[in-house]
Structure 1
């Protein structure tokens, strides 16, 4: 028994030592019997892989270098997008800069004329002889520039607007040009100037505030008032469009004049008005402007046809429009603007016509007033008739509700017979 436990506890080494020769005797495991445990060999970077290599102790791989993973051809789509964006921003910058240059060139050429005619030009303080022209005009957008002037005898104020092409957006500019070429009702984009002058017309006391220095203007109410009329000189290329778009010009008749170039015509309510305002100086100014001239309008009527009585109140104004030359040379256009700014003086002096002329001018306005009054009376009559019909229906419904079923049937039969008699009587009268 003791030998048994001895073999178990203390005989382990004997068993192991005796098993080793048996294992060594096995030829299948002879190569691995004395093999050492595997140990990793430390990485030693060579000189060829030192540049751009991975951290020490890690094997080199190209995933650590983005310039080896990708090439420029992999970013072709992004490159095209960046090029397009760059072109768009470049054209936008060049176009906006070109529009600013044109507005600056225009105000430099005409700033002295405006400063000589008005006490205040621009949106700041009073104008001075040494005022910078750029401060006289303000950018409302990338294609709209505006200025304002006041402080002149016979003129309440003047609005002036430059509308330029959308050079900062070539795609939109091309679309508008194409639409203007194929569609007659759409105007092609162009560089133009719109001048609107609002005369006092005897209303200095209502417009000029009660401040020192304004008493002289308020004392000349009667001298600034003049008769209302519509008179215009227009470019024949714009005549049809203006007649369709403007109610005030639609009431005039058209006639050419030998003083004017062949490509212009006069739209007037009276030949006497034309003789008064078509001077040789004005004709010469239009000739110098050339075909860039669009129109010069003196009007007391609204642009849209009046539909209410308050819209028939005369609002006198002078309007001038001409296009800008691509060369920014405004020598031929300056006389036209200068003459237009002095037109209120001529109106206050000469726009007092004979009763026969005024009777003819007022006939059209009186007819417009009569049509508006007639339309208003017809509308009121329709409203009164609708009110009577509603009252009659309410009375009929009340009478029917107060009757029993048999009485309602008799009521409806009498009503039907009455309607039949009316219809047969109408047919007899027509026959």
Structure 2
């Protein structure tokens, strides 16, 4: 039996003619004749091309992320006592890199996250290219995001108010609203101080007024209007809400207030072009928290808002949390009703299984009539 299986699995011997006069390699009892391996050569070439593509793409992504980080590292070192991990950037796969910074007034941490195109994966690149031809709104690019987490608790009225505010590139607005639930709190408006390519998303106008007014030599609209920066700017947002809508109100320990700067990653040769904008983000942190040496920031952003704005912000969050609690209770009640209905059906099926065929038929007809009367009653009530 084993010999039959071995004969079945063994490939047939190649038909080698005695007249073969092509290239041939011999070593002891082994003979290799390349002319008989034409298709295999193509497969080997394709595999070699894929591996070369993999290692070149992997190296390109790593170089691009490290170039940007190295260009901004002196600023990180000036701002934090622990500006980065011991190994610099931490790599997660071949297209994701991140760094953690801590040790600064007003901040718990800064997470710097790189999301690069999968240059190491030829098939993913082909998929992205094909999808871009079909879906006009589909865009892929290298990005870096800086998420500043404020030290102040999210459930208290301190220097950092509980609000949602953002400046967004208009071509990013649709995707931002789809990805970020917290942006649903805002209204979108144009602002005369900004270029036409940017828009403001804010809960109330005086939040924008407070952040856009000049603080000494610092002016956020002037920095955002710089032509060198605009191609790489995606969004700058201040938020006290999670990115994804939670099923129920979060515990205060799970909530945080954050300033998020999202950028397109510039080419490695121009990695420092976004340095003024990242510097401005640190200055904006000081304005919001009331820290630093800039004039007019005492009390932070919370002190600059009108009392009625602070009341409305608090009321909005109370209403959202109330709605979440009501939806959570309703969902739990529906789950309990489904469980009870399932238990009743199981008990009914067990009872039916013990009856004869005729009795089962009668019971099913009675149940059908009962459901019909029930549905007719509901129609009359409407």
Q: What is the TM-score normalised by the length of structure 2?
A: 0.72
Cα distance between partner residues in 2 of 1:94 and 1:390: 57
Match of 1:319 among 228, 253, 260: 260
2:271 is aligned with 1:330: yes
Which structure is richer in relative contact order (CA contacts within 8 A, separation 6 or more)?
2
Q: CA deviation at 1:284?
A: 2.7
Partner of 2:151: 200
1:116-265 correspondence to structure 2 within 5 Å = 116-124=78-86, 135-183=87-135, 186-188=138-140, 190-201=141-152, 225-265=159-199
Shift in alpha-carbon separation, 1:184–1:365, aligned structure 2, 3 A: farther
Q: Residues 33-56 of structure 1, C-alpha deviation per residue, up to 9 Å, x if partnerless? A: xxxxxxxxxxxxxxxxxxxxxxxx
Cα distance between partner residues in 1 of 2:375 and 2:62: 75
Cα distance between partner residues in 2 of 1:420 and 1:329: 73
1:19-418 correspondence to structure 2 within 5 Å = 66-67=24-25, 71-124=33-86, 135-183=87-135, 186-188=138-140, 190-201=141-152, 225-279=159-213, 281-288=219-226, 289-310=229-250, 314-326=255-267, 328-349=269-290, 350-352=300-302, 353-379=305-331
Across the aligned residues of Structure 1 and Structure 2, the Cα RMSD in angstroms comes to 3.8
- Report how many residues are paired: 320
Q: CA deviation at 1:174?
A: 2.1
Cα distance between partner residues in 2 of 1:183 and 1:254: 25
Shift in alpha-carbon separation, 1:355–1:108, aligned structure 2, 3 A: same
Q: Residues 253-274 of structure 1, C-alpha deviation per residue, up to 9 Å, x if partnerless? A: 0111111111010000111000
Cα distance between partner residues in 1 of 2:56 and 2:338: 64
Shift in alpha-carbon separation, 1:249–1:86, aligned structure 2, 3 A: same
Shift in alpha-carbon separation, 1:181–1:346, aligned structure 2, 3 A: farther
Q: CA deviation at 1:117?
A: 0.5
Q: Secondary structure at the match of 2:269?
A: coil
Q: CA deviation at 1:354?
A: 2.5
Q: Is the 8 A contact 2:237 2:260 kept in 1?
A: yes
Shift in alpha-carbon separation, 1:89–1:359, aligned structure 2, 3 A: same
Gaps of at least 5 residues in structure 1 are: 1-60, 125-134, 204-220, 394-417
